[in-house]
Structures are given as C-alpha cells and as structure tokens.
Amino acid sequence: MAKPVEDDSLWIRRFHPRPDSEVRLVCLPHAGGSASFYFPMSDMMGTSVEVLSVQYPGRQDRRAEPCISSIPELADLVAAALVPWADRPLVFFGHSMGATLGFEVARRLERDHGIVLVGLFASARRAPSRKRHETVHQRDDRGIITELQRLSGTNSQIMGDEELLRMVLPAIRADYRAAETYEYDPGPKLRCPIVSLVGDDDPKVTMDEARAWGEHTESSFDFQVFPGGHFYLASHQSEIVNAISDHVLTQLRLKPSQ
C-alpha cells in the first residue's frame, strides 16, 4: 500500500493532523459543499481519530477544475485518492449526496482493494436502492437558489452575495445532477457496519428511506433520528462526534475477535 504524502493531496484536507491516531475518519460533503464544511467536526474530534475531508473539484481552491456530475466517476477518483490513507482503519461520514458517494467509494475499496471500513455513517440521505425522481439540477439559477433556501444548506452570507453565489452555482448544479441521476447497481452488500442518521423534519428523506440503509450491509446496522431538517447536524455536532467516537472504539475492541 502506498504511503500518504506529507502534504494534503489534491483531494484530501487535514485541518488537524493527528499522526498518532488509531483511525481516520473520511468526511464527504453534500451537494455544493466543500471540505471546509467539516472543519468544526475535525476540531471537535478526539486525538484517537484523524479527520480527512474530501475536496471535490470545482470549488474553493479547486474552483478552476471542471466539476464532476457523475457519482460513479467521482467515486472512482475518490477511492483511488484514499487508498494511500488506508494504512489505518477508515470510517466514512457522508452527508446527503456525500452518503451515496461514501457508499460507492466503500464498494470500490472492498471490491478492488480488500479494504473494509470500520463503519459508514450515512447522514440525511435515502438508501441507495430507494430512488426518487428529482430534477433540481434542470432548474434555472433562481430555481436552484430557491431549493437551497428551502433546505437552509448554504451560508447566509453567500446567499446574500450574488457574485459569490454565481461562483458556486456551477458546482452546486453539477452535484445535484450527480445525486439526482444516480442509479443504484445491485451487488454484494457491504461488509462494514452502517449507521443511518436523519433529521425528523427532513424533506429530502423519509424514515423508511433512511432505515433502508440496513439492507445494504451484511454487518450491523444502527438508525438514529435527530431533531431538525436536512441540515440537522449543524445543531448536533457534539452528539455526532460522540456517536462516531463510540462506534470506532467499539469496532476496534471487536476486531481482534473477528
């Protein structure tokens, strides 16, 4: 297995390097999101877990690069970027589109590299096998902005700055296209545990759609509901950090007996 480079790669951001950590938590942003969305989670995480945040093309320091509007294509690239970081156990946390992407990356790591995650945390997203017909990516700019306002997922400062907003809209549109055109390809279940998390007032996912993540693993499954909407996690950072830490500790204790 290749050794990770000392500096962050094109795809990976380490806001708080923890060279002595036992596990690496890989965070995958939502549609239109950037690696910096997970800075607070990285800051709050204990020393035993090093947080890596994935940076998609077309935003922030990668704004000049073409956006990728296909989950399978994005998953291929993210999986390749993560292989060098798998010298320690990996756990994924993906929010919204990031949950679907995390699932597909986990499939590729298992299938192509024999890397089984410590766990996959799927936040605010229906299970891959649950399809909805959605066309937000086909709307004009105003229509996409209306959707963002409905979900309260974009920083209010950006929403009030038309120039900034127009800079990020291409990435948001590409991500929505990737998420909304995704087609689940049936295959083997993941070998890692899955934890599905959802807000109780999320318009983008029902309880049944979120609970259906349990159908995608041959390992353990847990389902957790929080007060809030699609971005419930903004108000529950400490609970989520604790849930991840507890899960990692439990899985590491179980590993020798498996």
**Which pLDDT score is estimated for 144?**
82
The pLDDT of residue 5 is above 70: no
Confidence of residue 160 (pLDDT cuts 50, 70, 90): low
- Which domain does 124 fall in, by range? 12-252
Question: Is 171 a member of any domain?
Answer: yes
Question: Is 213 a member of any domain?
Answer: yes
pLDDT digits (tens, 9 = 90+) for 173-231: 999 999 999 999 999 999 999 999 999 999 999 999 999 999 999 999 999 999 999 99
Q: How many beta carbons lie within 10 A of that of residue 187, not counting itself?
A: 9
CATH number at residue 22: 3.40.50.1820
Question: Is 193 a member of any domain?
Answer: yes
Question: Is 223 a member of any domain?
Answer: yes
CB proximity list for 192: less than 8 A, separation 6 or greater = 106, 110, 116, 117, 118, 119, 120, 217, 219
Has 113 been annotated as catalytic?
Answer: no
Total domain count, the chain: 1
* Least confidently predicted of 37-46, 113-122, 133-142, 237-246: 133-142
Question: Is 2 a member of any domain?
Answer: no
**Which pLDDT score is estimated for 16?**
95
Question: Is 133 a member of any domain?
Answer: yes
Please tell me which residue in 34, 69, 96, 123 is annotated as part of the active site. 96
Question: Is 5 a member of any domain?
Answer: no
Please tell me which residue in 30, 95, 230, 247 is annotated as part of the active site. 230
Question: Is 66 a member of any domain?
Answer: yes
**Which pLDDT score is estimated for 257?**
44
Has 96 been annotated as catalytic?
Answer: yes
